[in-house]
Homo-oligomer: A and B are copies of this chain.
Amino acid sequence: MIYLDNAATSLHKPPQVIDAVVEAMNTLGNSDRGMSNGSLKASRTLYEARVKIAELFGCPRPDHVIFTQNSTEALNIAINGTIVSGDHVISTDLEHNSVLRPLYRLETEADVELSFIPADSKGNLSLDSFEKSIKSNTKAIICNHASNLTGNVVNLSKIGTIARRHGLIFIVDASQTAGCIPINMEKVGADIICFTGHKGLMGPQGTGGMCIRQGIEIKPLKVGGTGVKSYSETQPKDYPTRLEAGTLNSHGIAGLSAAIEFIQSIGIDKISEKETRLMNHFYDGVKAIQGVEIYGDFLLPQRVAIVALNIHDYDSGAVSDQLSQKYSIATRPGAHCAPRMHKALGTESRGAVRFSFSWFNTDADIERAVQAVKEIAS
């Protein structure tokens, strides 16, 4: 199988990641539960992972790195933990349902007002619109770092500057960019960065989290056992415990930690360069094929390695199935949990076929994929 669905999950993990999970499953106890070797080793594993993640995202405090099951959970915590009834929130057409559905729910159930910055036909946002959308009750801007459909990367610094100027909380969904392009939360002015471990970070499923700027107060979504301050009737107020109830996925986090080490040993710039080259190789190969329509903006200074397309008027599901069954190429058709983006691109009814590339893909993979698109289109 040629796996070109890395924007859904990176199937090929560095061998070090698998080794780290195996090692963890053989040796880790429960972190913060007593002082036996197994428990201490779990605590150290988690702390080391926090340090690496803090470094990766430019988060000054490792204890402000929170582990969650995935990006969706991080976004639910960030959104529900900061927005209250009567607030106004600015978000965008680029968002995934992991942002949209929590926001829509707050709109329905808690009288939260929403504004969405529209995307143009290339999938780009007008950055001026952010400032124009600010109202007296605006509390936060929640924005995707890159669309999971078009691969367009958003200029976070500009939005961060606007957020800072108006005292708004700036929440970034880095699900598609973490591990793929460098992010420094201080430089871009982000208050909360939400990420998942199993995509560009090449870690295990069941891992993800958030980096929080000091001073940002987030109400916990879940409360429960923490192994510390057990006689308090309320969740401890200090991060990370405040947002981490129950036993963490130390086994998966050990793998994530190894994945980040792998990424840092290569350098994100180099990973980005290779993935971009593979993406351009594919894009150049398919853009001139008659009947192929490609979405997104390939002239942007920064993109993640995604090419979404349709062929003639074929349904995206039918094309993706053919790619899988006839050519053994894994892609992702349909709506990609990005309903507003598809509406903006006019692809609501048939979706799109998304090809997404990783460090482990090769030029040979790309050539076979280009050939397959050619054959289906002809």
Residue pair B339, A72 in contact (C-beta under 8 Å):
no
Q: Scan residues 214-250 of chain A and give those whose CB is less than 8 A from a CB of chain B.
A: 221-227, 230-231, 233-235, 245-250
Known contacts A69-B206, A247-B198, A252-B205; A320/B226 CB under 8 A: no
A17 is an interface residue with CB less than 8 A from chain B: yes
Residue pair A249, B8 in contact (C-beta under 8 Å):
no
A36 is an interface residue with CB less than 8 A from chain B: yes
Known contacts A69-B206, A101-B223; A335/B35 CB under 8 A: no
Chain copies in the assembled complex: 2
A155 is an interface residue with CB less than 8 A from chain B: no
A87 is an interface residue with CB less than 8 A from chain B: no
A18 is an interface residue with CB less than 8 A from chain B: yes
A147 is an interface residue with CB less than 8 A from chain B: no
Partner of A8, one of B29, B76, B206, B332: B29
**Would you give the shortest CB distance from A178 to chain B, in whole angstroms?**
14
Partner of A223, one of B102, B198, B331: B102
**Would you give the shortest CB distance from A304 to chain B, in whole angstroms?**
16
A296 is an interface residue with CB less than 8 A from chain B: no
A93 is an interface residue with CB less than 8 A from chain B: no
Partner of A11, one of B29, B101, B249, B252: B29
Closest 6 CB pairs of A and B: A206-B249, A72-B246, A36-B330, A98-B224, A230-B335, A225-B337
- What are 5 inter-chain pairs, A to B, with CB distance below 8 A? A11-B27, A33-B332, A69-B246, A98-B246, A105-B235
A contact set with B: CB distance below 8 Å: 1, 3, 5, 8-9, 11, 13, 17-18, 21-22, 25-30, 33-39, 68-73, 75-76, 96-102, 104-105, 108, 196, 198, 204-207, 221-227, 230-231, 233-235, 245-252, 255, 317, 320-321, 324, 328-339, 348
